[in-house]
Structure 1
Amino acid sequence: MKFNWFKKIVQDHPKFWETYLSYFDENKSKIKRYVVFDCETTGLNYKKDRILSIGAVGILNNRVEINDFIEVFIKQDIFNPETVAIHGILKEGPEKVVEVEALIRFLDFIKDATLVGHHVSFDIEMINQALNRMNLGTLKNEYMDTDIMYQKLKHFQQDQHTSLDELCDVYKIRKSDRHTASGDAYITALLFLKLKRKLEI
């Protein structure tokens, strides 16, 4: 029996992942939408730590769309009470879903939007690690970082970073619900719009 070395190997992907990938079809009409998001995590090691919650809000036509919003909390196999003081997420509390369900909701929400965050590469890597645990690919979205935007505006060196708290003080943005995923997403959305106007992009 002759073996065809060129036979295409087709890997079955879940429907939600195929739907997500379909949003990047070049033939689709593009409406410029930004999604500002933030992840609260068990720590800062993207290989070992896990996502506790994801908060995201949409921006259209330079306006934060309050009704275009998602917040999801993830069940944890291991609970570390020492981190509660930082993120405020208790073992019991808001309705929590398993990681897979959280990712399904997140991908359905962001679609092909440009993702925005403060030090966003960490949050993206946390999402990608979760996708990797599901044997899927990585996020396809373009992304923007409000810290890098501020660096460009002030002509800072690339290694000269500014915290979200510092930029809230600079631009007089009220730090409500700080260190919650939804609160940080909303604060970062306001910051993003201010920086976007100043950079004229």
Structure 2
Amino acid sequence: MALAIIDCETTGLKWYKNGIVSLGAVDITSDDKFYEECRVEDDIEVDETSLLVNGFKDADVKDPSKKSESEVLKSFINWCKYHSVNMISGFNVEFDISFLYGIAKRGNVDFAAFPKYYFDIKSIFERNVLMDISKRPMVNEVCAKYGIDVGTPPYVHVSMDKTLKFYNIDEDEPKPHLAINGAVFATELYFLMKYKTHYISRFSNSEIPDYLNALKFDFGPPLKVENLIRSIELKLKSV
């Protein structure tokens, strides 16, 4: 399956009332990149805390010269069609998919044209590394070195920046966050896990730790986007 790795920057954490301000993606096969910013409509809630993360101002997210969220989503779907992308991924990608679905729902965009399958890089790393008791000595060593708290199995969690620390990459995603940077850094992590090599050339001198280099990550079968949409709609009914 042709794969693209994506990231969204948003105006909040809830797909059904917040929107996106930018969308970035990397096509794994061609290395072509997608990046567009957009405006949100007046009825979309804007959380100032989220804007601090992505560096956008109120004027930026309401800028009439920018494309609408629906227009950017349509452009992304067409980009996926051009590259024959039928599977997407990212770090905590279910968050991103839910927001893109919210745009489609509000703007009457045909979401059936969206890629059909996905997998989550974050969940795969946590399942293969953090939840594996046999790897706890190595995990504890990294956590102590960088001051990371991942919790106790099976209740584990780690950000993308902290996940990269396990690969000796002591550099965070550039701030303020741009969606294309998020997609590129997530692609780096995917390459490390899948191919045992670096995607970002400036990290090439960072040696992959032996216990991760020897690990064959179980990615499992791809998940269906339609099942995720059904799940988030059910959760919305209980809100």
Deviation at 1:140, TM superposition (A): 4.1
With the length of structure 2 as denominator, give the TM-score of the two structures: 0.61
- 1:144 and 2:116 aligned: no
**Local SS of the residue matching 2:3:** strand
Cα shift at 1:99: 1.6
5+ residue gaps in structure 2? 132-152, 196-215, 220-239
Deviates more, 1:189-198 or 1:91-100: 91-100
Select 2:174's aligned residue among 174, 177, 183.
177
Aligned to 2:77: 107
Aligned to 2:94, the other structure's residue is in SS state helix
**Range that drifts further, 38-47 or 160-169:** 160-169
- Percent identical pairs in the alignment equals 25
Assess if the C-alpha contact under 8 Å between 1:42 and 1:50 holds in 2: yes
**Is 1:188 matched up with 2:186?**
yes
User: In the TM superposition, what are the counterparts of 1:118-133 in structure 2 within 5 Å?
Assistant: 118-133=91-106
State the 1:117 CA deviation. 0.7
Partner Cα distance (2:154, 2:122) in 1: 10
Distance verdict in 2 for CA 1:55–1:166, change over 3 Å:
same
TM-score, normalised to structure 1, is: 0.71
Given that 1:72 and 1:96 are in contact with CA atoms closer than 8 Å, whether structure 2 keeps it comes out as no
Q: Match of 1:74, SS?
A: strand
More helix by share: 2
Structure 1 residue 33, shift from structure 2 partner: 2.2
Query: After superposition, what is the alpha-carbon deviation per residue over 1:85-105, rounded to whole angstroms, capped at 9, x for unaligned?
Result: 210123349962112210111
For residues 38-78 of structure 1, the C-alpha deviation after alignment (integer angstroms, 9 at most, x for no partner) is: 01000101111001110111112xxx71xx01111111334
- Mapping for residues 12-31 of structure 1, pairs under 5 Å: none
* Root mean square deviation, CA, Å: 2.5
1:98 aligns with 2:62: no
Q: Specify every segment of 5 or more residues in structure 1 that has no aligned partner in the other structure, as ranges.
A: 1-31
Structure 2 residue aligned with 1:4: none
What is the rounded CA distance, in whole Å, between the counterparts of 2:116 and 2:107 in structure 1?
Answer: 18
SS of the equivalent of 1:44 reads: coil
How many angstroms apart in 2 are the aligned matches of 1:54 and 1:140? 15
CA deviations on 1:130-180 (whole Å, 9 max, x unpaired) are: 111133345342111111111232261564222111112112344343521
Contact in 2 for aligned 1:36/1:188 (Cα 8 Å) = yes
Q: CA deviation at 1:196?
A: 1.6
Q: How many residues align?
A: 165
CA contact (8 A) 2:124 2:218 kept: no
Partners of 2:154 and 2:7 in 1: how far apart? 22
Match of 2:24 in 1: 55
| Counterpart residue identity of residue 162, structure 1 | V
